[in-house]
Chain A
Amino acid sequence: MSPRSDPDALSRPDDHIDAPQRDAPSSDEASVSQPKLGFVGWLRFAWRQLTSMRTALLLLLLLAIAAVPGSLVPQRSSDPNGVTQYFADNPGLAPVLDRFQMFDVYTSAWFSAVYLLLFVSLIGCVIPRTKHHFDALRARPPRTPVRLSRLAGFTERPLPTGETPDAAIDRAAAELKRAGYRVERYDLRGEASVSAERGYLRETGNLVFHTALLGVLVAVGIGGGFGFSGQRVVVEGQSFVNTLAAYDSFNPGRFFDDGTLDPYKLSLEELDAVYETRNQEAIGQPIDFTAHVSVQAKGGESTPGVVKVNQPLRVHGTDVYLLGNGYAPTITVRDPEGEVVFTDAVPFLPQDANLTSIGVVKVPDGLEEQLGMVGFFYPTQETLDSGAFTSNYPDLVYPVLTLNVYQGDLGIDGGEPTSVYTLDPSSMEQLTGGATGVESIELMPGETVELPNGLGSVTFENVDPDAAEGDYSHSVSRFASFDIHDDPSQGWVLVFAVLIIAGLLVSLFVPRRRMWVKAVRRRDGAVVLEYAGLARGEDPGLEEAVASFATAHAGASTDAAAAAPASETAPPGESADDRANPST
């Protein structure tokens, strides 16, 4: 039996390095020569090509290449604003790229085609191998080869004195078994021998690994369809109920059923932001954000909770993440009679690390005409040389709010959804700031000013009015922006990931090997023990393993064995005795 053409070689693709060489001299030729085949024959041929190692390899490399463009061009899934910007910057190129789904690379037809083909190939590879492996698990180790001397790590030891060949082989079998080998006694032409094989786990690991890859794909693909993700901004002191209508934005999976939303109530009690104050190199750098919340099940008790970056809150089957925060100045607008027509904490979107923020106030009712205001908020205001304002620290040291006032039609009566963060001034008249010649309104917490043209007044409320003079640290509410997710397949993905790692470790590090020990009677009548091994796949430690087993079994190597062939006095009939000694 030659190691290359092992009849029970692992059932691997034809062009696997360990697969038996088929009649074609090389795999390349095999694929080029066009066999005369019927339709079924062609199908089988195509299938064999698809499930060959070479195809798997090429598809893997193709997958790597196909993934590249998604890192060069912004993707709609991860960076929608980037895509918009890209279209603005490259008006000629962007539509062409879009035609090729370059902004949705990872859901594109061509990317999907590559990985689906790869996984079809994978299935075609794994199924026959699994079947074959089950058979191999039940099979006996193969017969001992006639000549061990051509195999890896071949070594000889004299038979230990006082032991019969049979007993020595029995002992070898027992010792191999203890070392985790599956053993089988064979007695061929009167020569007692043991054939042993270990490392079935290697192939098991490989199959588990490849199957788990499939598992990840299925879990991500199907399981993900049942989940959702939604975003919601919540201001300190306010709350939100987990229903579809309450979300600012909501992305359901394909099979998501909104009846499954558990209507719990999440309230933001307080958002703690800590910034570096001492390290001169990092003044103002964020150190910690903590959202203190309370969660109340429908009709249930309210329980406190904490959401931090890196520390989501897992409640009622959803995961709540703290993805952003900022200031929500409380602004009150009164009509000329002093009646409140608007009062709310308005979330302002941070524009830079020091939280210079932009927000919009819309007052649709209660005044003669609709009123809109675009505001800038500076938590710690500073005046640049140019006269422009900026913020130089993200916490509330010297908070200033500036407002540009617009009057006219807000454009919200038509029922079309408009963003609460932008104002469309196209049918409005600007009253302050810009080219109007009227100074922008400028307020600190607690201050009120008159609106131009006697429209009324606007107040920047101090939400902590009892603080000491000059202490603004709590004068403005903060908001948290929460991401709320449910991904029912996430746990499965993790399970398969663990299987991937485990399968990989086993398949790359468990050696699969055979070992044989044979008692051979020399022509001089002396009995020697022969040892040899055979690697199945990568096995750098094989020769050492054979040598150390031989030494453990029959003592250190001597040159007695090497000298033996010189004498040729063994009676030829001797070995017949052994044949009369059948083993178990």
Chain B
Amino acid sequence: MTLDEISIILVYSAMAVYAIAFIAYAIDLARRSAAATKAADDAKSAVGASAPATEAGAATGTAGAVGSAAASGGGAGTLVAAPPARGASVAWGRSPALRVAVAMTVVAWLLHLAADVTRGLAAGRVPWANMYEFALTGTLVITTVYLLVLVVAKHDLRFLGTFVTGLVLVLLGIATVNFYVSVVPLPPALQSAWLVIHVFVATSAVGFLALGFALSVVQLMQARRESFAASAKAVKQNFLATLPDSATLENLAYRVIIIGFILWTFTLMAGAIWAEAAWGRYWGWDTKEVWTFIIWVVYAGYIHARATRGWRGSRSAWLAIIGFSTVLFNFTVVNLFFKGLHAYSGL
């Protein structure tokens, strides 16, 4: 068996374990919804008729506090101080499903890492020189960033696992089925130290931006729920009740996205330096360059939106979502269907 064949077996194994993790995360989310509903029912029967009034009052207070709490960077404080009636604060401790899910994610990550390393050994170079390899390494980075953030962040962000494992699974599936190419030598244009740096930094940026995307999506869902609560409409209790409030989610999203943005800025510049050496000009509006630029500008817009009155909150979250859509578009459609100098998909 060749190293590359071993690598493929490892990829499939990792996918199987990711699938288990995904299911476990999904079960956990379902249980959260149930728990949230139950907590709401308990609260209702305990407080009786006065409950809706309290809830509405507290929620209005929160909505007003979103801006200032976020501005003072007090995300953590906001969460702790949140009154239970506000909705975003059904305590969610250790769910067995969640623990299984995280453990399985770690196992899948180890298999994935092994698959990536063996692919690199089989090729005798870094494993990110064609689309199959970009996908293999890129998804590895996404999981790595997720696990890192779990360790570092003060909040419990394990709920993002459903999204992360889901995305990684889909991308790995597409990559192995549609993008797979056997190991071939590097064309001269790719024989450069910049392949190692530029592409790796780009992939890392995607890892952070993916997480920022997930957080922004949840932020929007949470904001919607909060505005329902504020208008005293009936709030359907679901897993969102166990998650941080939208202001906290926004702060978290912002923090991972600015890391992604800096990495992307570096990607763009490293790409320009490489292009100068390989093609004789540092910027030529090649399709891939155009899209790298578009992504950069959209995220610059996101950062500005966060600092603009009237744009912080849901509008900036939409920009983060559009930003990640352009990232995915750049990776898939632009790589596969657009003509340009960056014809390195290997397909």
Contact = CB atoms under 8 A, between A and B. Distances in A.
Interface stretch (A189-197, A285-293, A518-526, A575-583): A285-293
Nearest to A231: B280
Contacts, number: 166
A241 interface: no
Contact of B184 (A68, A74, A279, A309): A279
B8 interface: no
Interface in B326-345: 334, 338-341
A543 B77 contact: yes
Contacts of B341: 78
Interface in A99-142: 105-106
A510 interface: no
B254 interface: yes
B92 interface: no
A62 to B, nearest CB: 9
B277 A16 contact: no
Contacts of A538: 73, 254
A285 B307 CA distance: 51
B257 to A, nearest CB: 10
Interface in A9-67: 15-19, 26-28, 53-54, 56-57, 60-61, 63-64, 67
B37 interface: no
A56 B294 contact: no
B302 to A, nearest CB: 9
A478 to B, nearest CB: 15
Interface stretch (A177-185, A371-379, A384-392, A496-504): A496-504
Given A60-B301, A490-B276, A281 B73 contact: no
Interface in A212-245: 220, 229
B20 interface: no
A555 interface: no
Q: Is the interface of A mostly helix, strand, loop or mixed?
A: mixed
Given A64-B297, A312-B280, A501-B269, A27 B310 contact: yes
Interface stretch (B98-106, B111-119, B282-290): B282-290
B184 A17 contact: no
Contacts of B182: 281
Interface in A543-565: 543
B233 interface: no
A362 interface: no
A18 B71 contact: yes
Nearest to A13: B308
Contacts of B304: 53, 56-57, 60
Contacts of A152: 72-74, 77
A3 interface: yes
A71 B183 contact: no
B71 A276 contact: no
Best-surrounded residue of A220, A309, A319, A505 (most CB of chain B within 10 A): A309
Contact of B301 (A61, A485, A534): A61
B307 A504 contact: no
Nearest to B338: A71
B97 interface: no
Interface string A289-328: 1000000000000000000111110000001010100000
A71 B291 contact: yes
Contacts of A63: 297
Best-surrounded residue of B277, B297, B306 (most CB of chain A within 10 A): B297
A285 B72 contact: no
A508 B262 contact: yes
A582 B184 CA distance: 78
A539 interface: yes
B279 A535 contact: no
B193 to A, nearest CB: 9
Given A57-B308, A540-B255, A282 B334 contact: no
B266 interface: yes
A333 interface: no
Nearest to A280: B182
A310 B275 CA distance: 8
Best-surrounded residue of A3, A64, A285, A497 (most CB of chain B within 10 A): A64
B71 A321 contact: no
A4 interface: yes
Best-surrounded residue of A56, A78, A542 (most CB of chain B within 10 A): A78
B185 A17 contact: no
A77 B309 CA distance: 40
A530 interface: no
A15 B309 contact: yes
A187 interface: no
Contacts of A75: 285
Interface string B62-99: 00000110011111110000000000000000000000
A151 to B, nearest CB: 9
Contacts of B179: none
B178 interface: no
Contacts of B266: 501
Contacts of A319: 280
B251 A540 contact: yes
Contacts of B339: 74, 79, 82
A486 to B, nearest CB: 11
Given A57-B304, A68-B294, A501 B265 contact: yes
A346 interface: no
A562 B280 CA distance: 69
Contact of B287 (A71, A77, A483): A71
B272 interface: yes
B192 interface: yes
Contacts of B273: 494
Contacts of A497: 269, 272
Contact of B278 (A26, A56, A71, A309): A309
A79 B339 CA distance: 10
Contacts of B254: 538
Contacts of B269: 497, 500-501
Contacts of B76: 540, 543
B187 A15 contact: no
A122 B270 CA distance: 25
B170 interface: no
A349 interface: no
B77 A67 contact: no
Nearest to B291: A71
A10 to B, nearest CB: 11
Nearest to A497: B269
25 contacts: A4-B68, A17-B67, A17-B312, A18-B71, A27-B310, A67-B290, A70-B285, A78-B340, A82-B339, A229-B281, A279-B185, A282-B184, A309-B188, A310-B191, A310-B192, A310-B278, A319-B280, A323-B279, A493-B282, A494-B273, A500-B265, A504-B262, A505-B262, A541-B73, A542-B74
8 closest pairs, A vs B, by CB?
A282-B184, A321-B280, A309-B188, A53-B308, A539-B73, A64-B297, A71-B290, A60-B301
Given A17-B309, A539-B72, 11 more contacts: A17-B67, A17-B307, A70-B285, A71-B291, A71-B334, A152-B77, A287-B188, A542-B72, A542-B73, A543-B74, A543-B76
